[in-house]
Amino acid sequence: MAVFVDDNTRVVVQGLTGKQGQFYGLRNRAYGTKVVAGTNPKKAGENVEGIPIYASVREAVTQEGANTAFVIVPSAVAAASILEAAEGGVSLIICVTEHIPAHDQARVYNVLKRNYPHVRLVGPNCAGILSPGKANIGFTPTEVAMPGGPVGIVSRSGTLAYQALYELTQSGIGQTTCVGIGGDPVPGTSFVDVLAAFQADDETQAIVMIGEIGGTAEEEAAEFIKSNVTKPVVAYIAGVTAPPGKKMGHAGAIISGGKGTAKAKMDALTAVGALVAQNPTEIGGLVKQALGR
Amino acid sequence: MDLFEYQGKQYFAKFGIPVSAGDIADTVDQAVEVAERVGYPVVVKAQVRVGGRGKAGGIKLANNADEVRLHAGNILGMDIKGHVVRRLWIEVASDIKEEYYASFTLDRSAKKHLGMLSAQGGVDIEEVAAKAPDAIARIHVDPVDGLTAQVCREWVRAAKLNPQVEDEAVAFLLKLYDCYIQGDCSLAEVNPLIVTPQGRVHALDSKVSLDEAAAYRHPEWADFEGMASLDERERAAEEKGLQYVGLSGTVGIIANGAGLAMSTVDIVNQVGGAPANFLDIGGGANADRMVDALTVINDDPNVRVVFINIFGGITRCDEVANGIVAALSRLAKTAPLVVRLDGTNAEQGRAILNANTSERLIMIPDMLTAAKKAVEMAGA
């Protein structure tokens, strides 16, 4: 099993005709992902290396049976693209676009919750989702992953998730799914959502959770772990020594008013029994320990 | 982007939020000129992006030109918590009957906008929250619904503001919400929000932060950028499109990805070093990007060594290694580099670096060992 994306995932890429969209869309297809359509109202009827372009997500859903949208468009149009995907009938939207204004993120989140409660948004500003051997949507380098489980990874940061994939693979430990939830202030999918999915997934036996400074999502995850997660959790939090009040690369990675520190997050996770790594290269060893290998 | 008080007030004014008449002054003569124009008594206010200006002596009342000269002379150049005062805001002094507090910000946890309102303004709101949490009325505003007049009125009542100014307060808060939303603020705070003896409600101070991600739809923000608080290094990095945060240590840092860059800053601190910066070079760490990153870092006179921490994903380690070698050949002068490569084609990448090892380039495969080596070299 895997969570969120697998062999049944049929992807429409919003932005396939752009440079980035084409690069990653084709790369994802080459991995075996069913990339069935792209959208661009001005280029409807054309194709990108055999992938048909439609005017709208709705047409891609109707014509090609797309069930997942991969949003890789400029930030100024990303919010509208996400809403178009929800309206168009997909059940999963993965948005990698960075620099969407925070107010737009908050509005989109609440519109989806109210009008499309069964649609899951992952991101924005995320690396995407990889279920090794099944499907990859987004930026994740499949070269460093290994199919078959038993570890699920969830991370705000892209590169730190890749590092975790790599270390596990080097140790001969495979992964079920690696979910990037993104570094922005209002992520569509939270740690809690992904932890719940991994807890329910038979093949996932241990969970790696990679957080960073800013907000309280990790503390909320710790609360959830306490009463809902029986599988071992290995955690790492970046930004222990980050200065307060500075955005550390990601829009959401900021300590404001003394809140959102790495220390508070590590303490909360330690208190509920998670194994907390002091640096990202300790993740592999701790997972082995958790799995009793 | 944090605005100065005067910029925040100018921004408020665009949305019809009442503020006191005033203007900026960069010299004592200008201060007097503004005071004569707006009329005495005036308040002379230091423009720095830090709280506690009043206690530090950065806000003074002046009844005539001589007093303006005295206070402006004292305040210009004053150091307030490490911020040197270069500009003043001179405004008409207000009679104050009551002082309130009002703000809007995004509650990341609730994923809604958070409004905070209190009848106990004019003091640090954190203190009010600690001592008398019930004195702050909080509301969550769903971005889809917005703030309606009805909800706003109930909020004003819950905060126990003076009922005589209820209509004025509701009108004020609706405008403040409009400014927060239409103006793409991440924070719009008024403390104090005052009531005059005549029953007028207006903003005596402003604290506004803007969401940089929304800059594309706010060309008017260009006016604010000249006075932004970036240091020279941050300005240079921004021009090259690098994600950079200036720190005060001796170990320059380059990593790919914000998470790994934060991690690298952490590990350097953990082994007893002091990072000079945070720098995320992004996905494709090619020679051009590496030259740009190294140029910015080498311009920092504190830097004694550069720790390059790269995880090769789609951009393979051998490509990154070739980029580093090419960058070195293009840079006449650089602090020595300690490079750690991991990920796709790590072995090939390390082999390339090993073949080019010199006193300017050291390859260490493990992140912790590499950090220790960099810190050791910075200390030498």
pLDDT of residue B126 exceeding 90, the answer is: no
Instruction: Give the model's pLDDT for residue A57.
Output: 98
Give the number of other Cβ atoms within 10 Å of residue B211's Cβ: 23
Residues B298, B303: Cα–Cα separation, whole Å? 7
Assess whether A104 and A31 both reside in one domain: yes
Are A183 and B258 an interchain contact pair (Cβ–Cβ within 8 Å)?
A: yes
B189 is catalytic: yes
Burial of B78-107, coded b for 16+ CB within 10 Å and e otherwise, reads eebeebebebbbbbebbeeebbbbbbbbbb
pLDDT, mean of residues B40-57: 92
pLDDT of residue B283 exceeding 80, the answer is: no
pLDDT of residue B231 exceeding 80, the answer is: no
pLDDT of residue A60 exceeding 80, the answer is: yes
Assess whether A144 and A118 both reside in one domain: no
Look at chain B and report how many structural domains it folds into: 3
Residues B274, B263: Cα–Cα separation, whole Å? 13
Are B257 and A160 an interchain contact pair (Cβ–Cβ within 8 Å)?
A: yes
| Mutation target among A103, A168, A193, A223 for the B interface, most CBs of B within 10 A | A103
- The pTM is what? 0.94
Name the residue facing A106 among B106, B261, B342 (closest C-beta).
B106
Beta bridge partners of B188: B104, B208
Please tell me whether residue A99 adopts helix, strand or coil conformation: coil
* Segment B153-210, tens digit of pLDDT: 999 999 999 999 999 999 999 999 999 999 999 999 999 999 999 999 999 999 999 9
Contacts of residue B136 in chain A, CB cutoff 8 Å? none
Are B257 and A278 an interchain contact pair (Cβ–Cβ within 8 Å)?
A: no
**Confidence grade of residue B270 (pLDDT, cut at 50, 70, 90):** very high
Question: Which residue in A181, A196, A194, A287 sits closest to A234, CA to CA?
Answer: A287
pLDDT of residue B230 exceeding 70, the answer is: no
**CATH number of the domain encompassing residue A116:** 3.40.50.720
- Residue where a domain stops, chosen among B165, B181, B216: B216
* Segment B303-360, tens digit of pLDDT: 999 999 998 887 788 988 998 999 888 888 889 999 999 988 889 999 999 999 998 8
Residue A217 CB-half CA count within 13 A: 31
Assess whether B105 and B88 both reside in one domain: no
Contacts of residue B113 in chain A, CB cutoff 8 Å? 106
Assess whether B86 and B149 both reside in one domain: no
Look at chain A and report how many structural domains it folds into: 2
Domain extent, residue A96, equals: 10-122
Are A238 and B262 an interchain contact pair (Cβ–Cβ within 8 Å)?
A: yes
pLDDT, mean of residues B14-24: 96
3-state secondary structure string across chain B = CECCHHHHHHHHHHCCCCECCEEEECCHHHHHHHHHHHCCCEEEEECCCCCCCCCCCCEEEECCHHHHHHHHHHHCCCEECCEECCCEEEEECCCCCEEEEEEEEEECCCCEEEEEEECCCCCCHHHHHHHCHHHEEEEEECCCCCCCHHHHHHHHHHCCCCHHHHHHHHHHHHHHHHHHHHCCEEEEEEEEEEECCCCCEEECCCEEEECHHHHHHCHHHHHHHCCCCCCHHHHHHHHCCCEEEECCCCEEEEECCHHHHHHHHHHHHHCCCCECEEEECCCCCCHHHHHHHHHHHHCCCCCCEEEEEEEECCCCHHHHHHHHHHHHHHCCCCCCEEEEEEECCHHHHHHHHHHCCECCEEECCCHHHHHHHHHHHHHC
Instruction: Give the model's pLDDT for residue A83.
Output: 98
Instruction: Give the model's pLDDT for residue B312.
Output: 85
Assess whether B102 and B192 both reside in one domain: yes
Question: First-to-last CA distance in chain B?
Answer: 38
pLDDT, mean of residues B9-30: 96
Assess whether A50 and A99 both reside in one domain: yes
Instruction: Give the model's pLDDT for residue A158.
Output: 94
**Helix A102-115 and helix A75-88: axis angle, to 10°?**
0
| Mutation target among A241, A261, A282 for the B interface, most CBs of B within 10 A | A241
Tell which A residues from 215 to 274 touch B, by Cβ distance under 8 Å: 215-217, 220, 238-243, 246-253, 257, 262
pLDDT, mean of residues A25-34: 97
Within 8 A by CB and 6+ apart from A41, the residues are A55, A56
Question: Which residue in A129, A16, A28 sits closest to A72, CA to CA?
Answer: A16
Name the residue facing B108 among A99, A186, A248 (closest C-beta).
A186
Are A106 and B113 an interchain contact pair (Cβ–Cβ within 8 Å)?
A: yes
pLDDT of residue B227 exceeding 70, the answer is: no
Q: Which residue is listed with tokens 């905070």?
A: B116
Q: In degrees rounded to 5, what are phi and psi of residue B140? A: -100, 130
**CATH number of the domain encompassing residue B48:** 3.30.1490.20
CB pairs under 8 A between A and B: 167
Residues A171, A153: Cα–Cα separation, whole Å? 15
Catalytic residue selected from B6, B101, B177, B244: B101
Q: Is residue B311 part of a domain?
A: yes
Cβ atoms of B374 and B307 within 8 Å: the answer is yes
Assess whether B141 and B200 both reside in one domain: yes
Are B258 and A250 an interchain contact pair (Cβ–Cβ within 8 Å)?
A: yes
Assess whether A147 and A117 both reside in one domain: no
Q: Is residue A268 part of a domain?
A: yes
Are B260 and A107 an interchain contact pair (Cβ–Cβ within 8 Å)?
A: no
Tell which A residues from 153 to 172 touch B, by Cβ distance under 8 Å: 155-163, 166
Are A157 and B260 an interchain contact pair (Cβ–Cβ within 8 Å)?
A: yes
Contacts of residue B247 in chain A, CB cutoff 8 Å? 243
- Residue where a domain stops, chosen among A70, A93, A122: A122
**CATH number of the domain encompassing residue B351:** 3.40.50.261
Name the residue facing B367 among A162, A217, A279 (closest C-beta).
A279
Does B258 touch chain A if contact means CB atoms closer than 8 Å?
Answer: yes
Assess whether B209 and B117 both reside in one domain: yes
pLDDT of residue A234 exceeding 70, the answer is: yes
Name the residue facing B109 among A141, A160, A215 (closest C-beta).
A215
**Confidence grade of residue A124 (pLDDT, cut at 50, 70, 90):** very high
Does A80 touch chain B if contact means CB atoms closer than 8 Å?
Answer: no
Instruction: Give the model's pLDDT for residue B238.
Output: 84
Assess whether A103 and A218 both reside in one domain: no
Residues A266, A269: Cα–Cα separation, whole Å? 5
- Residue where a domain stops, chosen among B66, B92, B118: B92
Cβ atoms of B101 and B190 within 8 Å: the answer is yes
pLDDT, mean of residues B58-62: 96
- Residue where a domain stops, chosen among A122, A155, A178: A122
Contacts of residue A162 in chain B, CB cutoff 8 Å? 257, 311, 313, 343
pLDDT, mean of residues A47-75: 98
Domain extent, residue B309, equals: 232-378
Assess whether B62 and B157 both reside in one domain: no
Measured in whole angstroms, the distance separating CA A268 from the mean position of its chain's CA atoms is 23
Q: What percent of chain B has pLDDT over 90?
A: 76
Assess whether A45 and A108 both reside in one domain: yes
pLDDT of residue B211 exceeding 70, the answer is: yes
Q: Is residue B194 part of a domain?
A: yes
Are B260 and A281 an interchain contact pair (Cβ–Cβ within 8 Å)?
A: no
Q: Is residue A128 part of a domain?
A: no
Does B205 touch chain A if contact means CB atoms closer than 8 Å?
Answer: no
**Confidence grade of residue B282 (pLDDT, cut at 50, 70, 90):** confident
Are B266 and A139 an interchain contact pair (Cβ–Cβ within 8 Å)?
A: no
Question: Which residue in A263, A108, A280 sits closest to A210, CA to CA?
Answer: A280
**Confidence grade of residue B1 (pLDDT, cut at 50, 70, 90):** confident
Assess whether A79 and A162 both reside in one domain: no
Q: In degrees rounded to 5, what are phi and psi of residue A95? A: -115, 115
Instruction: Give the model's pLDDT for residue B341.
Output: 93
Q: Is residue B266 part of a domain?
A: yes
Assess whether B362 and B247 both reside in one domain: yes
Cβ atoms of B155 and B117 within 8 Å: the answer is yes
Please tell me what DSSP assigns to residue A10.
E
| Mutation target among A73, A105, A159 for the B interface, most CBs of B within 10 A | A159
pLDDT of residue B244 exceeding 90, the answer is: yes
pLDDT of residue B226 exceeding 70, the answer is: no
